[in-house]
Amino acid sequence: MTREIEGSLGLVVERYGSDKWSKKLTTKDQLGILVSANLAQSKSLSDISSMVEATGKFSFDGINKSSLSRVNSKRNSGIFEEAYRHILEKVRKRVPYSKIRVIDTTTSVVAKNLFSLWKMDGNRGAIKIGVEYDPFWQLPDQIIISDWKKGDTTHGKEFEYKKGLTYIFDRGFNDYGLYTKIIKTKAFFVARMHKTNRFSWFKQKHIKPSNVISDETGKLGRPERVRKSRVMQDIVRVIRFKKEEGHKEGIIIATNRFDLRANDIRDLYKRRWDIELFFKFIKQNLKLKKFFGTTHNAVKSQIYCALIAYLLVYLIKPKYKNFTEFLRKVRYTLFFDFQQLSFITDT
């Protein structure tokens, strides 16, 4: 795990010059501390300080919480963002290429005080994390961090879309401009629609008795009723499905995938729930419910270090092992010798 960090961090540190004025806590030390804190589920800076002193795994004897707070606030979080991307590239080389992505957002509390640098959600400072996620290999990809008031559609337009990939969205990303952007990059989308979405169709497939109500081809929006900027010029497919058992209503899905059967489109959309499980996992296991600081650098650094921790565990986890169980074993080894990792990967 340490080798993976060093290889990805060296060039980034040199480019940013982040250790130029560092007297004690280097960028590597800070990353090691924050990754370990996420894995150990430390609850506060005091917890982290005690962990550093107790484990003896670092190049220094200890660090007080004020020093750690200061470096978290001052050091550019972009360093850890780039380190995350470098490690992600290494992980990607070890798994087959997947052409399906889910995009969604989650919200986390920063601090329950009125002096947070983040916009307020009631009496809380809150942030929104936008994630591009590969549901087949359980891997996060692009990450966008902002205050909680930024809309999902705005987040969606900030992602970079790649030719040939299919992107899955919930209703919160309902935006014709977003879908047009995806089509222009020669990518695909599968998105759930609101009942109020208007649709001008000119071709309808014959539907045999099934869970499909209709399968139509046309344009989203109605030119005679909606201003032109909100009418898609590209041809799309809109499929209406009957209500499934346990659900309150049927679903309407728009897509530019004309090569798949209607039920295959529905099954693709269901992969959207995988990202909800990912959000739940990182909040429960990687300390992303609350944060150690309130500045942009402190919060973003913690998020990227949590994701780096996830990727490092992903790199050493045997394919047949459950992620949560394996992470628990890795957490235990933090308090012992790292050579014990060879034991838990072999058993």
pLDDT, tens digit, for every residue of 313-335? 888 887 778 888 888 888 777 66
C-alpha count within 13 angstroms, C-beta hemisphere, residue 188: 19
Distance separating alpha carbons of residues 333 and 327, to the nearest angstrom = 10
Mean pLDDT computed over 163-183 = 95
48-65 per-position pLDDT tens digit? 888 887 777 676 667 888
Cβ proximity of 297 and 73 under 8 Å:
yes
79-127 per-position pLDDT tens digit? 999 999 999 998 998 888 899 999 999 987 665 543 345 554 555 567 8
What pTM does this model have?
A: 0.86
Mean pLDDT computed over 162-175 = 96
**What pLDDT is recorded for position 267?**
95
224-276 per-position pLDDT tens digit? 554 555 678 899 999 999 987 766 778 999 999 999 999 999 999 999 999 99
117-148 per-position pLDDT tens digit? 555 455 556 788 999 999 999 999 999 998 87
Considering the domain 182-257, what is its CATH architecture? Single Sheet (2.20)
Distance separating alpha carbons of residues 212 and 239, to the nearest angstrom = 7
Q: Which residue has the higher pLDDT, 243 or 215?
A: 215
> Which residues make up the CATH 2.20.25 domain(s) of the chain?
182-257
Amino acid at 11: L
**What pLDDT is recorded for position 162?**
97
Mean pLDDT computed over 165-174 = 96
The backbone torsions φ and ψ at residue 111, rounded to the nearest 5 degrees and listed phi first, read: -160, 140
